[in-house]
Amino acid sequence: MEDPDDLLRELRERPPSADLNPAFLLADSRPLFARLGEGSVSELVAAAYRDAAWIWGPRAAYLGACNGDRPEFYEIFESFAEAAKCPQRMHVRAEPTEAERDFLAEADLIVLGGGDPLQGLRAFESADLVEVLRESFTRGAVLVGVSAGATLLGLGTRDAAERFAPTLGLVPLVIETGPDAAERLAASVQQAPIPRGVAIPAGGAAAFHPDGSLEPLASTLEEIVSEEDGGLRRAHLLPSAAGGGDERPVH
């Protein structure tokens, strides 16, 4: 798997004309529809590809490998894709058909559902979808990770044996979500190849931009960096609606 530093360097060195889009990181499904200052995530996603032209409209793919492709999660995606103005939608399953694989390779919006991030990663590796997702991100598809899907987009998380397990590495941060995200993040960053991460609490959301900056969208996020002496440096990142929200560069 490509080194996250190399991926970030590649994103930063692409010419301005490259059609890159943010990746949205959500602790749960609530920010998909909630107002976030400049709009809901569905509105922000729709704005990312508003100038593109299609015959049949943008395509949205949902990957539910993290949750065993539970149909009720796909129903949430359907509502979100409708709000994001994506008339073409498909559930790309953990064992995808050729048609699902082809749809994913050309999707404009890709949503990774919640569940178990390492279960999802194993499914993607088994189905040879890891490189498809990486190519989708670098060609400009909008990626949305919900809960475990957000963790999966990051550098990794700890497994059942409390060892650091790398994930997709598309966002060069350790990403933990949910009520105990900060506690889990504090342990994860001490084992990560890049010892920096963000905890996204319940109801929280952030956008990772192509220039490497991280923008809080909902709730206060906690950034944790593991120092060389073993200590932890913590900072709170506030969304702009709360009076903070300066985009934080990711190095």
Residue 249 in domain: no
Residue 46 in domain: yes
**Domain region containing 94:** 4-11+18-242
- Helix/strand/coil (H, E, C) string of 121-181? HHHHHHCCCHHHHHHHHHHCCEEEEECHHHHHHCCEEECCCCCEEECCCCCCCEEEECCCH
Mean pLDDT of the chain: 87
**Predicted pLDDT at 44:** 83
List, in sequence order, the alpha helices (H) in the chain. Answer: 4-13, 41-48, 71-83, 98-105, 117-126, 130-139, 148-153, 181-189
Give the predicted TM-score (pTM) of the model: 0.87
More confident residue, 33 or 215: 215
Q: Residue 243: which pLDDT band, with cuts at 50, 70 and 90?
A: very low
Number of structural domains in the chain: 1
Position 12 pLDDT exceeds 80: no
Position 47 pLDDT exceeds 50: yes
CA distances from 169 to 2, 43, 127, 144 (A): 8, 26, 18, 14
Residue 248 in domain: no
Residue 251 in domain: no
**CATH number of the domain where residue 177 is located:** 3.40.50.880
Residue 189 in domain: yes
Residue 161 in domain: yes
Residue 198 in domain: yes
Residue 74 in domain: yes
**Predicted pLDDT at 20:** 78
**Predicted pLDDT at 15:** 42
